[in-house]
Amino acid sequence: MKSVGIIGGSGYTGGELIRLVIHHPALELEFIYSTTRAGKAVNSSHPDLLGSLDLNFTDKVNENIDLLFLCLGHGNSRAFLEKHSFSKETIIIDLGNDFRLNSDQEFGGRHFVYGLAELQRDRIKKATAIANPGCFATAIQLALLPLAKHSLIKDAVHINATTGSTGAGVGLSPSSHFSWRNNNLSWYKPFTHQHLGEIHQSLQQLNSPSALFFMPQRGAFTRGIFATAYTHFDGTLEEAKTLYKDYYASHPFTQVSNEEISLKSVVNTNFCFLHLHKHENTLLVTSAIDNLVKGASGQAIQNTNILMGWEENLGLQLKASIF
């Protein structure tokens, strides 16, 4: 059993990670750090854990913990690690964006490996620190990696992706309040979303620099990302399907569907479902994930399994609530 500490466990991502850790057969949750909730029962923030976990939040850490997960707001992981030191044997997985870009991956004697398993599995196996990808970045990259690997992105890629309200975090804002979000739809950060940096980085790694026009949207639902990306493609639809199925043949959580996909098929799971459609010379790739699982905490557990040498789907055999 590997001991686990979670930093920042009162939010949506932290809560999802707690659920996955306590049901993982090779992990043991030791502490959940929170400066605002210290001393309070974890189920006071996550009432669905009543009867599953008898643990209080704490403002103390164990510096010799086996695995440390950082579930802090973007920009706060680096500040936390500057104030707290951990054993060199402690594996750190950051679910924020502090260490995703190449220029930020060296910190405190550690090298953070970008944790997109479908691109970096071999590097993840040897890692001692992981920078977990962003949720939009995960959905979009998985839609584009097979094309990028074969240098088939010849033109600009246009992307539209809608995310649920949990993507905005547990703190309330005007656009995450139920009265605003329900029966509503809007875009935000058009063409400038912060996840574009890591997407460009991965495409460049495959020698496929591309122009990306990304329009993120707020959806009137809680969980999931439904993304569509389209670009020029000279091959046939069957050639594209073969390309994608061959690329993901050894990756258990990314599946190519012959039928049209919908969001509920992946919510509450660590899967990414892809679907391909061709119109004249344009290839449309649809990608669907759960932003809190494959887009965050589930992917963190997937990376843990890989670097520990365990089965990649250990503790992640989850079922969608499609009905």
What number of residues does the chain have? 323
Where in 64-211 does DSSP place strands (E)? 67-70, 91-94, 106-107, 110-111, 113-114, 129-131, 157-163, 186-187
Active site residue 135: yes
> Which H/E stretch holds residue 243?
helix 237-247
Backbone torsions φ then ψ of 197, nearest 5 degrees: -60, -45
Which strands, in side-by-side order, build the sheet including 282-289? Answer: 186-187, 212-218, 157-163, 225-232, 282-289, 272-279, 254-257
CA distance 1 to 267: 28
Q: Specify the DSSP element, H or E, that contains 131.
A: strand 129-131
State the burial class of residue 94 (Cβ atoms within 10 Å of its Cβ: 0-12, 13-18, 19+).
Answer: buried
Q: Copy the structure tokens of residue 213.
A: 């026009």
In angstroms, what CA-CA distances link 191 with 24, 38, 187, 213, 215? 38, 39, 10, 6, 6
The answer to whether the CB of 274 falls within 8 A of the CB of 284 is: no
User: Smallest Cα–Cα separation from 142: which of 255, 246, 260, 279?
Assistant: 255
The whole-angstrom separation of Cα 63 and Cα 30 is 12
Select which of 7, 119, 130, 135 is catalytic. Answer: 135
Task: Please name the residues in contact with 244: beta carbons below 8 A apart, sequence gap of 6 or more.
Answer: 146, 256, 274, 276
The radius of gyration of the chain from alpha carbons, rounded to an integer in Å, stands at 19
Residue 248: both structure tokens together:
């993901």
Best CA proximity match to 208, nearest among 128, 146, 278: 146
**Active-site residue set:** 135
